[in-house]
Structure 1
């Protein structure tokens, strides 16, 4: 698929939908085929604001494209997609599985402690189910069935099944990080990530974020270095650069418009900033990105 000829990457509640969800729930659950089959088994690049997505592939395979990187997903694997990651899928025909999309407040409600590992994710994670997780496919199937149904105690069962899935997925995330980092992350790192998402284009100083979190700038910097080995300012800059990269790859915006979207009034200063962080100019990066195949 060539570069999207559009002003910006579409941000959906669900792929292809701009209207509000028909129910007040903070959850949506459906089979892979429910949406993909009508789109020739291909979901073009898009993103979600304020929504976390879990894709479970039960049968078949899929090409996954997230923020310009490509991976192959096979049966028995999960893909966790945090908010605002640009993602697209090309599924093998008749692929089977489940896609769960939920709002971040629901994660905090159902898994207030274990959920910190998920809320703090800023990049996608793929993982393979282990022998001790053999019941998870049944949990996904039961969740989809209960979600579509209207039997007694439907809401309680949906939340219980989703809690099991979230706890197991969170445990898998925890296994990839040192316990000390997770303990500190549970403090305020997820909240800092959410604040960056809201304010990165405003070019706020680290002191602004620290004040919002009720900590000192020095404490916030120390926390970030302990969790991800980068300073708070580096994380803010990374988010600014990521948005610029996404717009350069997935849209036809001019460099000047990309700069303005990232909060830079001076395109020349944006170009210098981008080159310092990335090692090449925005135009060179766009040329190197070339044609995306989704």
Structure 2
């Protein structure tokens, strides 16, 4: 395993022989793979990343969870997630890299994109399978984006924003019809706010009651709500976020187990090791060896 940190790419660093854009890259999958043969290894992005498979096989891993490739599959990633891929045969489809700020000049709500369930930052929720009848429409949207990029006209960026939002909405409608309905705003707002708070505070706040207080609900309500929405208690969601960060840090061979325990706010190395093994079935050292 490399002794360096997992590399983090920005959009410009993945430009494909064209004028680099800081906000958007759209490409056919085969062209993208040919231009960036080295990024099959674990890496992160500083942007939202979307891949759409129309042909091919193999697997891709997002935050240490492995998924088999299938035609009609899309995977959505938020900034900071770790992923890699292991493809067999010729892969076809499309890739999109889009910055978090791409829509800011276009939408009043800076957090609009986070409303889509596939941008939750949870690996399994970011991998969706399109019904066969929806595949042509999504492919057509990607082709329209490529045409717009290759033959720029007036209001080009705004057209690309419209096409991108149309893609997100059509995928969401096809795979999760209940999302976005006006009669369900409270549940999705509470879930989104809880997940954002966990993302901000998981290193310091480990108890559901801490988050319940920030959300102005009772701990019992928060736990029952999480079980209803996600099939997990609030405590499990907090714990899973701590474990994910531990796994990400363990990919850096230069960090000692003690340093990782300290960074994650554990009392000592022994407590961290017991916690990690209890919920993963491996010690941190064993997990790190399997990454090599």
Give CA deviations for 1:152-209 in whole Å, capped at 9, x if unaligned. 13133212211221012222442699x9xx7664122122222222222223543443
Q: Counterpart of 1:78 in 2: which secondary structure?
A: strand
Q: Counterpart of 1:134 in 2: which secondary structure?
A: helix
The answer to whether residue 122 in structure 2 is matched with residue 122 in structure 1 is yes
1-side partners of 2:151 and 2:110: how far apart? 21
The alignment's TM-score, normalised by the length of structure 1, stands at 0.77
The alignment's TM-score, normalised by the length of structure 2, stands at 0.77
Give CA deviations for 1:58-96 in whole Å, capped at 9, x if unaligned. 344453122334333244332222443211124557643
1:15·1:46 contact (CA, 8 Å) conserved in 2? no
Q: What residue number does 1:174 align with?
A: 176
The match for 2:95 among 96, 99, 106 is: 99
1:31·1:98 contact (CA, 8 Å) conserved in 2? yes
2:32·2:95 contact (CA, 8 Å) conserved in 1? no
Give the unaligned 5+ runs of structure 2. none
The match for 1:268 among 255, 267, 270 is: 270
Q: CA deviation at 1:139?
A: 0.4
Q: What residue number does 1:137 align with?
A: 139
Q: Which runs of 4+ in 1 moved over 6 A?
A: none
The match for 2:280 among 272, 275, 278 is: 278
The answer to whether residue 36 in structure 2 is matched with residue 39 in structure 1 is yes
2-side partners of 1:269 and 1:15: how far apart? 42
Residues 1:59 and 1:184: Cα distance change in structure 2 (over 3 Å): same
Q: What residue number does 2:81 align with?
A: 85
Residues 1:282 and 1:176: Cα distance change in structure 2 (over 3 Å): farther
2-side partners of 1:165 and 1:110: how far apart? 18
1-side partners of 2:26 and 2:110: how far apart? 16
Aligned length: 279
Q: CA deviation at 1:113?
A: 9.2
1-side partners of 2:242 and 2:211: how far apart? 15
Q: What residue number does 1:4 align with?
A: 2
Q: Once superposed, what is the RMSD of the aligned Cα atoms?
A: 3.6
1-side partners of 2:111 and 2:137: how far apart? 19
Residues 1:111 and 1:237: Cα distance change in structure 2 (over 3 Å): closer
